[in-house]
Structure 1
């Protein structure tokens, strides 16, 4: 057998068995979601193509993780995580750059649905990284868990001139995140989408949160741009991955092209005034003359200049 063709085949076989305890419950007779990578081994800096099938429609996050991805973002290289959109058909494809995770291998490609419970991993051997025993997941609520919570969401802005005329609308999203656990949250991944409807698909480049110590609170500042033409309501949805469970948030943003409405009102006023002026200047119909007025007391006009004096006969 040709060794060059064995690697993709091996990757496909591995991908069909990856969705384990973290995947959703699959109805009887239905096939589970799958993750397929184009290779079984890569080096840091390589780009790996990831294909998804039978996933719920929406945005997913893809990252390289150590420790089998058992502890979520705490095991993953969140700085090189990418997002892609799964189409209503359940398929999606993108590529991710292989980066050394914060912990040793076994390494995996981890896929997590934004705002949902679907997640899964596929093994990926990363050259040059040490192997270590898998560290177990600390049970939720125990002393070793970082528990993230979104305590505030605010959107400011909206005074830009382009937005008044239907152009791109600039906003700034502020998200306050607090670690209510007793363990630090190390570089938790942040995923944000923007668009119309309750499940937006527009990608918003997220900032790095850094390490959030127990009891610490931090405000994330995310500039967002609503693409033109802008009118109506838009949804911003996101989540911050914690070691215990994701902290999610959603907010609605509205923008209206008031400048266009003002211009339309001015033009309508100008047209009305012009029409009124035109109506006043309409010329009289040709051939029409004003009738001559006759004074009944003046008598016959033909005798008025005879100089005679009329008298009364007794």
Structure 2
């Protein structure tokens, strides 16, 4: 019986190793979500790398052949160097400095990027933006990590001085991604045993305005839920982010054992006295730990049953003493 338990246990261990280590890490990450801006004051650490270039050169760009366009006209726009598969093209007034409030979002057009060409043309119907000019045509990816703009004159549309972001509006979008670090089979096995785990945490900030964003700060933390905080994640300082520019930084964090269940990662960025928060979750199911614990429990149970069986059998033997036969009387 004990040999069978050992054989079955070994089979389960091998199966768990294949599933939990070789196939994939026992983690799952949910899509990031972002909350609305709230009043706040800056109070954290951070750092910056140069923002992704826009239509000024070196990166994604959008250009127009005609610079003066009437409302309702169809124009051909030239898009180049986008890596995203789908783009959203829209008309914005006020140079788009206040984000989506300056753009005609309902009449935006979705454009598919061809996989066989870095440069392509797309027809676009120019509509009236909700804000006065200066006007731009903006092309952006779904996550706003690729954005390019082109300025033009919208005939018949009013022109007004540019208004920067005001109270309650923050021209900054934030997203966060947390994934277990890919450090090989031993690291995956340790994670599957609920051991200490290294995570790669990436934060992306997108300046949605057409002006330089200065003085932004970011705070990142991880906890069991949105109200809990286990660790702070230190990010380097954020320098200026250019118009439509992107700031991206990845740091590595070690969570001490036991690592199991759901963890909520929060990134809160602050600018102009306002803050916005993005969250994402990771889940660790320590499969190998559960399997080994089950095998150990089964082995202990088997041992207890066998000892109990032997003890009961010994007691029964003692009670069953042979009968004494008297010699026959003569």
Q: TM class by shorter-chain length?
A: 0.3 to 0.5
Greater Rg by CA: 1
Q: Output the TM-score relative to the length of structure 2.
A: 0.39
Could you state the TM-score of these two structures normalised by the residue count of structure 1? 0.41
